[in-house]
A and B are shown apart, each in its own frame.
Chain A
Amino acid sequence: MTVVLDAPQAQQIDAVHRTGPASSFVGLRHLLRLALRRDRLRVVLWVTGLVGVVVATVESITGLYSTPAQLEQYARIVRGNTALTVQAGPGYGLDDPTLGAVMMNELAVWMVIAVALMNIFVVVRHTRTEETTENAELTRAAPVGRYAGTAAALLCALISTVTVATGVALVLAMSGLPGAGTMAFAMSLVGAGSVFASLTAVMSQIAATPRSALALGGVALVASFVARAVGDIGDGRLSWSSPIGWAQAIRAFADERWWVLVIPVGTSALLILAAVALQAHRDFGAGILTQRAGRPTAPPTLGSPLGLSVRLQRASIVAWSVGLGLMGFFYGVVGEQAESIFEENPELESYFAHLGDASITDAFLATSVLMMALLAMGLTVSSVLRLRNEEVGFRADLVLATPTSRSNWWSSHLAVTSVGMTVALASMGAATGIGFAALTGEEARIAQLSAAALLMVPAQLVVTGIVFCVVAWWPRWSMLAWGVVAAIVVVDLFGTLLELPQWVMNVSPFQHVPAVPAVSFQAAPIVILLACSAVLAAVGAIGLRRRDIG
């Protein structure tokens, strides 16, 4: 029996069977809508968070630097100051400082980094992570084009970035800053975001797992930061190799150079083509770096929950230790330069006055150690959240169905997290000291800065305790832990700038750590922090004992 189709049906079938480039994107609209719908809460959180920070910063800066004299003073302190340049950028426009230029100096680098992180997370979530779960298989079996998934991920990232940029632009414009600079900054954010999104799309093709894709994206971000920092201190050439540098090079609020926008746009396009080419050669679900075979039997160390925790977390602990070590070395090297510049500029004393009677170098080193410890919270929090991942993935059931008590299970996991975080911080401190000592010969600094980094451990333990309590009492809200991290970062990085009241600042455990070497060591805050973390662990233990697993 033959089937005779009438004309409209035949046309429809033709449309489906059509081959060629257009068919590779079939289903894009649906996938994009799916991605946006799934991420609506995350995008809203990112947008409100970033725009909120901008609002607060604008408020505060307009208050602090309302007169031209104050602007001049700021510019004098900041210009040519190596240490501040590392953190804030080359300070374009500070020759004739306007509010906009000051804004950029305070804000631009951090906003670019935040937007880059958001893009990395979004793209990995919708490409690599999709493939490792079965969701993507379901959609790919439907009439969906080969590249539609990646395209949807990139478009979703772009939409998020544009939303953030629009929000930021509105805030800046409403506070009276010039329109040209506002547009330039917003577009530079979009440019930087799309570079990182397309770079991550390439990483997703290469990496075998979502974790390694995220790790590669993180490495790229850190490398961009370091390249830009080195370039900004020096003659600026290295900054041209970094997407963060491109975002700065547009010189928002300081004689904007619009042609710079071509660079991120062009780079994004090239990277997207590379991602497409790689995807054409790759099996669905695999990375280009292939899997090695494993061992047929377990090593003697893999015989207890502790052994399992070590095995699962060791790769990320090593990676973070190496990464923080490299960053520490970099900061140590820069720290050597800080002293010489600062000595020429007596007004700097007031800038760091809140740290007390300390040398400028010490103050800089203490601040660097703090910043890297804040970064290390990424390791701490993601390690504790793995506990929840194990539970959600039903792997915890396998372990808890053996004669392993719940307290054994979680305490061995947290023990490994704590030790790993300590190792990472120690490596960071030692590397900072080594970098500094390499240029100045002050070998005592190695021990001193290692100790400074280790003093951050109790604060990290408090953060561990907080996240553990969230996992134990409100497991479905585990992602809130990252909100806690964001709050602590904002308080510690922007607290003085936003003129937050002291009681708000005290929420962050890092505020209570004595900022060695700028401040002398005090035991009391450390003991209190350790006591707090013990209490938090006990509270978490109770919560985890009484609730259902899974």
Chain B
Amino acid sequence: MTIESTREDMVSAGLGEFDQMSDDVRLDPRVGPLQVGSRVVTEGTTAEQPNRPSREFRTVCVNEALRRLEPLSVIDPTPDHDRVSRDLVTVVGRHDRDARSVRHEALGEDAGDLASCAMSRFDDNQYVCAIIGHGAMVHPCAREWPESFDPSTEDEWPLSERRRPDWVETSDEGFPQMTTRSPALARTTDVADGPETVISIAHLVKTFGPTTALDQLDLQVERGEVHGFLGPNGAGKTVTIRILLGLLRADRGSVTVLGGDPWTDGVELHRRLAYVPGDVSLWPNLSGGEIIDFLLRLRGRVDRHRRDELIERFELDPRKKSRTYSKGNRQKVALVAALASGVELLILDEPTSGLDPLMESVFQKTIGEAVERGVTVLLSSHILAEVETLCDRVTIIREGRAVRHGTLAELRAVTRTTVTVATDEPPVGLEGLKGVYALRQLDGHVQFEVDGDELDAVVRHLAPLGVRSLVSHPPTLEDLFLRLYSQDSTEVTR
């Protein structure tokens, strides 16, 4: 198949439509709130760039198209196709309706100027191209395929070199450049449809000579969640992460990352994940910007817009040589390089330990945006506030074993409430109650800690004694962690 035949098909089927549309397609900067499917999306534009629709809006359009068509291929300049950039996204799907109705149905009545559909025919099937672009000009196809290429049999489509067309003027020139993904890959590596368990560790053992770093560790991270990985210093968090990256080899046990073995399939898996190390050390003679670009290029794609935006958000000066950076700035370099790469799994090892509170909130906001796009995050951190805000589930590791895992809510249920009560009659019998600890008398009051699930029994016991005042402190995460981190393991297991 060559491009010429595809275009002819397109022309005969509906490219004429394009030509018409390309004349009158204009992006209306005043497009207001839009209903696409069941979501109401607010169009946002910036004053300097009124012709660019909001990323969110385009994301929604793409997702709708994916949902309603039967997507065979997504031709996307940025393979992370639900994060739409300035370039085109083309969804090729199969549909037996005509172009216009598909467009309206798939993308909503008012999506008009932002999206167009064309029909094309090959292999006796109807193919619909839904093109969501930024308006002024839409062209569906890449410029060049190699002659020997047959898209129906190849697993990986050739990458044409990246050129940025001048959108406003060009008509025949200036095709968008596309990385390609074959239909098979499109389905399996789609962020929304991938395997449910992104990281799966079972009975992992790692020893360094006489020291056992990991002792039957279990860990599961599901797709799309932010999983906290906590533990005292020296518990084995960094060792686990390095095994996930294929830098260390596990002695026993099984490790699966994104469906593959990190030791043998490392290179392939690393295309889909990004890593921020705990103690960032950089090449002293290179500047921050150079290091970020270098790491992004190694990973395969440089989204200049996103990189610049993140550098600005984190207030990083990319021109300084990394030798002159403080620890926090070095961390920012690693963070920007990871967050700008658009991968589906982020492995972060204490990424904010040197950042000030403002940057901490920037980090949390950026991770939140990533999560909305479906990115999975494994976050190892000591900052409990960060864990509380970001993490869905948490695994706590101590001395190489997972001692606790679950959602934060579940963990909170395990901690204790501190109760201070004053009663009319002396509170006898409290010591004997199950779940009551650290009973002490203060002047006139009694203070104790009670397990979450025994609270009801304790309150029932107290009620007949005539409660005059009752103050309770809800369980704090810090209490939980301190208790779990400490040596006193007998209390923990209850």
Contacts and interface: CB of A to CB of B under 8 A. Distances in A.
B290 interface: yes
B164 to A, nearest CB: 15
B324 interface: yes
Given A293-B319, A403-B299, A298 B248 contact: no
Given A302-B293, A405-B267, A294 B321 contact: yes
Interface in A370-422: 393-395, 397-405
Nearest to A208: B323
Given A294-B290, A295-B287, A303-B298, A401 B245 contact: yes
Given A403-B271, A405-B266, A293 B287 contact: yes
B279 A298 contact: no
B248 A397 contact: no
A17 to B, nearest CB: 31
A304 B300 CA distance: 10
Contacts of B295: 398, 402
A18 to B, nearest CB: 34
B306 interface: no
A294 B281 contact: no
Contacts of A305: 298
Interface string B223-252: 000000000000000000010011111000
Given A294-B319, A404-B298, A548-B248, A398 B290 contact: no
Contact of B270 (A293, A302, A401, A546): A401
Contacts of A397: 242, 245, 247, 275, 277
A484 interface: no
A311 B286 contact: yes
A294 B287 contact: yes
A166 interface: no
A403 B277 contact: no
A2 interface: no
Given A291-B323, A402-B295, A296 B287 contact: yes
A403 B270 contact: yes
A209 interface: yes
B286 A294 contact: yes
Question: Taking chain A's interface residues, is the majority helix, strand, or loop, or is none over half, making it mixed?
Answer: loop
List the 3 closest A-B pairs by CB distance, nearest first: A294-B287, A298-B293, A401-B275
Nearest to B293: A298
Contact of B318 (A296, A308, A549): A296
A292 B320 CA distance: 8
B247 A400 contact: yes
A400 to B, nearest CB: 6
B284 A298 contact: no
* Of listed A303, A312, A395, A398, residue having the most chain B CB within 10 A: A398
B319 A303 contact: no
Given A295-B319, A304-B298, A549-B247, A404 B270 contact: yes
A56 B290 CA distance: 52
A97 to B, nearest CB: 53
Given A291-B324, A297-B318, A302-B290, 6 more contacts: A294-B290, A298-B293, A307-B294, A315-B285, A398-B282, A401-B245
B268 interface: yes
B93 interface: no
Contacts of B351: none
A76 B277 CA distance: 67
A550 interface: yes
A302 B298 CA distance: 9
Contacts of B284: 209
Interface string B208-228: 000000000000000000000
A467 to B, nearest CB: 21
B319 A399 contact: no
Contacts of B292: 298
Interface bin, chain A: 35 or more
B111 interface: no
B285 A295 contact: no
Contacts of A291: 321, 323-324
A294 B297 contact: no
Contacts of A303: 293-294, 297-298
Contacts of B293: 297-298, 302-303
Contacts of B88: none
Contacts of A546: 249
Interface string B276-318: 0101111111111111111101111000000000000000001
Nearest to A307: B294
Nearest to A547: B249
Nearest to B289: A296
Contacts of B270: 401-404
Contacts of B324: 291
B267 A404 contact: yes
Given A394-B277, A395-B282, A402-B270, A295 B289 contact: yes
13 contacts: A294-B286, A294-B288, A294-B319, A296-B319, A298-B294, A299-B290, A304-B297, A395-B283, A397-B247, A401-B275, A403-B298, A404-B267, A549-B248
Contacts of A315: 285
A399 B321 contact: no
A507 to B, nearest CB: 32
A395 B286 CA distance: 12
B334 interface: yes
Contacts of B247: 397, 400-401, 548-550
Nearest to B269: A403
Contact of A402 (B248, B249, B290, B299): B299
A398 B294 CA distance: 11
Contacts of B282: 395, 398
A209 B324 CA distance: 12
Given A295-B319, A550-B242, A394 B298 contact: no
B266 A295 contact: no
A398 B277 contact: yes
B289 A297 contact: yes
A294 B283 contact: no
A397 B277 CA distance: 8
A295 B279 CA distance: 24
B334 A297 contact: no
Contacts of B279: 394
